[in-house]
Amino acid sequence: MTEQGVPLKVIEIAEGIKTMRIRGAGRIARAAAEALKIAALEYGGVKEVSPFKKYVGKVADLLIATRPTAVSLPNAVMYVLASLHRANPRTFEDAVNAVVFSAEKFINESINAVKIIAETAAKRIRENSTILTHCHSSVAISAIIEAYKLGRLVKVYSTETRPIFQGRITAKQLLENGVPVVQIPDSAVRYVMHEVDHVIIGADTVASNGAVVNKIGTSQVALAAKEARVRVYVVAETYKFSPTTLIGEPVPIEFRDPAEIVPESWLRNHPRVKVLNPSFDVTPPEHIDAIITEIGVIPPQAAILVLMERLGWALDKIKQGGFAKIKFEDFTE
Amino acid sequence: MYNKALVLTLSSVRSLEKELIRHGFRTRYTGSELVFATLEALKEYSLSSDEKNFAKRLLATYERIVSERPASAGVLNILRTVIESFLRSGSQTIPSVIMDLKSSYEKALWTVADVACKRVSNGDVLMTNSNSLAVRRFFARLKEENIEVEVYVPESRPGLEGLLLAEYLERLGFSVNLIVDSAMRYFMKNVDKVFMGTEAVAANGAVVSKAGSSLMALAAKEARVRVYVLASLLKFSFESVYGEMIKLPEGGWELLMDAETRNTLPENYFARAPIYDVTPPDYIDAIATEYGIFSPQAIPILLREIYGSYPPSIIPLPKLVKQLEEAYRL
């Protein structure tokens, strides 16, 4: 127990998220929910509803501060806090139970989400289909494998995905599952698009207007698909929907190390060439046919619905100030 | 001959870096470089061999081009001229025919550059892929005319020739941004005009160019950015007028990585690497030729003006090759 009354295990998890020991949108989200559960169970203050709520709010702030730009993290935290708020507990025990129950529910749902999404997506794949996917998304891979098991796939085109070649991981994982894969350079996306029936891609973040932030090149794939009248499905767990975009906060696009694209020696030999390495791009909602989540298939423009359903009460708080300004500690009373 | 490091080497070609090769960097003759290299080789053959041997060399060259670079309209067209001249007047006049072809093509490239330059305003932001010779001439001319531009260069897989173009533009003193091919749409909103080279222009105005060009043109169209193609009429595919499809060569994993990297991937790993793609005429605002700027759909009108009729009365290459075989019993 630290002096603020936050259990050490919770601090450990927060540190793990901060130092990127805990990585991946799903893992981060589940770790945060787990931390709130531990915090509730090991609460050592006055056993009354009001101080307990204040304490949970403080833990929430602490967790969110570890990665201000992450999406899944605040969503997990808000999921639990929104449940606590809705439960409107009369007794201390009810309050603890509300936190523990919703944290566990979030964790289970998150683990099941990939399975549900894969099954839902596979239903949308027609017989004898050719699929194109970009980058490496574990949800997209699960969906493709599921469709393959149903006997609906003929072929998968997987893009190399420069600069890091995540497409090679995709190709490898699909081949291990017996799925026939053809790897293509990113430049060949339009060249093969006329053979493709569906594009299935993951998402890093879904904005409130339904725009999808994902690995650089995704928006180009979607554009080529739209031109060829090929359907584009985004598979994404609901915790990837970004609440802050609702108040106009842009999703920050990170420019990564140029040495990912060309070797250091090339950079040294060409000091006046600027090597620009944006890691994400934004696919507009009109280039996406549907977003497939664990709560169902939605048109991208209805992304706001997911945010309202899942986050409800907390959304109002976000509208008031964004993460930088709001203190959950004050709002849980 | 057609895949080795070439005449127009740049510093990075000489010191090819292992890391780059690991990622599929390789030098390849651009369409125009192939024209010059083929002409040079034929000239030497004509000086060193008798008629029959030269006929053999011509045939071998033709077969090699058809199997390795079937989309290279420029080379196919010069082969047509050389074979025609050889059938008409033997190998005596070949060196001078070749000299003429070389100088007129060199001149055409510069005229194309002049024409295209007029479409660029000082301060424009351009995007161009691959490492076409026509594109390099165009930038050299821009420099001479003191037109300052900023250029986005996609790395242009397979082959990564974008790195060579970036290097060339850096030496000319332009401000250059090198990006991955996937980032073309991301940066298109910053771009004013797109310029691209050509492997072949088809009868309907479609343009065969480096893989990824059609994607770049599509992204440009979406962003209402103008697309210009640089093409001497030597790149016009006369065969396509008669319905012949332009064959697009493809490679496999060997164009994307080295053997060592391939060994880290599963045995049944399979890759397709198209070298060219086709940009439909409706994505092209204009083609800059040595005769001026035309809409892609108007190229037949231009050809009619030049050749006096349309389709131009040319002898199809396969027919000429057959004549060659018969005349020299090959």
pLDDT tens digits, B184-202: 999 999 999 999 999 999 9
| Distance in Å, alpha carbon of A168 to nearest chain B alpha carbon | 8
Q: Are residues A299 and A321 in the same domain?
A: no
Q: How many other CB atoms sit within 10 Å of the CB of residue A73?
A: 25
Q: Are residues A303 and A176 in the same domain?
A: yes
- A265/B175 CB distance under 8 A: no
Q: Are residues A131 and A110 in the same domain?
A: no
Query: What pLDDT is stored for residue B16 in this prediction?
Result: 58
The DSSP 8-state label assigned to residue A28 in this structure reads: H
Query: What pLDDT is stored for residue A243 in this prediction?
Result: 81
Q: Are residues A233 and A319 in the same domain?
A: no
Q: How many other CB atoms sit within 10 Å of the CB of residue B239?
A: 21
In sequence order, the 6+-apart residues with CB closer than 8 A to the CB of B256 are A160, A183, A185, B23, B24, B157, B158, B271, B273
- Residue by residue, DSSP assigns A142-205 as HHHHHHHHTT-EEEEEEE--TTTTHHHHHHHHHHHTT--EEEE-GGGHHHHHTT-SEEEE--SE
Total domains present in chain A: 2
Alpha-carbon gap, residue B102 to B111, rounded angstroms: 14
Q: Are residues A127 and A207 in the same domain?
A: yes
The pLDDT of residue A3 is above 70: no
Query: What pLDDT is stored for residue B8 in this prediction?
Result: 40
Average confidence score pLDDT of chain A: 91
Q: Which of B156, B175, B215, B225 to probe the A interface (max A CBs under 10 A)?
A: B215
- Cβ–Cβ < 8 Å for A152, B223: no
Average pLDDT score over residue span A118-145: 96
Average confidence score pLDDT of chain B: 92
On whether any CB of chain B is under 8 Å from the CB of A276, the answer is yes
The pLDDT of residue B9 is above 50: no
Q: Give the A:B interface size as CB pairs under 8 Å.
A: 149
Which residue, chain included where needed, has tokens 């048109």?
A299
| Distance in Å, alpha carbon of A1 to nearest chain B alpha carbon | 48
pLDDT tens digits, B257-268: 999 999 999 999
Q: Which helix (H) or strand (E) holds A137?
A: none
Tokens (6 digits) for B132 = 């076409």
Q: Are residues A157 and A227 in the same domain?
A: yes
On whether any CB of chain A is under 8 Å from the CB of B218, the answer is yes
Q: Are residues A108 and A125 in the same domain?
A: no
On whether any CB of chain A is under 8 Å from the CB of B181, the answer is yes
Chain A hits for B184, CB-CB cut-off 8 Å, are 220
Task: Give the CATH number for residue A193.
Answer: 3.40.50.10470
Q: Which helix (H) or strand (E) holds A11?
A: helix A8-18
The pLDDT of residue B11 is above 60: no
In sequence order, the 6+-apart residues with CB closer than 8 A to the CB of B157 are A160, A162, A185, A186, A187, B24, B181, B211, B212, B256, B273
Please check whether the domain covering B11-251+268-328 is classified as CATH 3.40.50.10470: yes
- Domain residue ranges of chain B, discontinuous segments joined by +: 11-251+268-328
| Distance in Å, alpha carbon of B108 to nearest chain A alpha carbon | 29
Chain B hits for A161, CB-CB cut-off 8 Å, are 182
Query: What pLDDT is stored for residue A318 in this prediction?
Result: 66
Q: Are residues A185 and A303 in the same domain?
A: yes
Instruction: Describe the strand order of the beta sheet including A280-283 as a list of residue ranges.
Output: A205-206, A212-215, A280-283
On whether any CB of chain B is under 8 Å from the CB of A256, the answer is no
Confirm whether A281 is domain-assigned. Answer: yes
Tokens (6 digits) for B9 = 């080497």
Quote the ipTM score. Answer: 0.92
Nearest CA in chain B to A181: B270
Strand partners, B179: B154
- A189/B166 CB distance under 8 A: no
Task: Give the CATH number for residue A29.
Answer: 1.20.120.420
Domain, as residue range, for A61: 8-114+311-331
Average pLDDT score over residue span B271-278: 96
pLDDT tens digits, B298-307: 988 888 888 8
pLDDT tens digits, A59-110: 999 998 888 777 889 889 988 988 898 899 999 999 999 999 999 999 999 9
Q: Are residues A205 and A77 in the same domain?
A: no
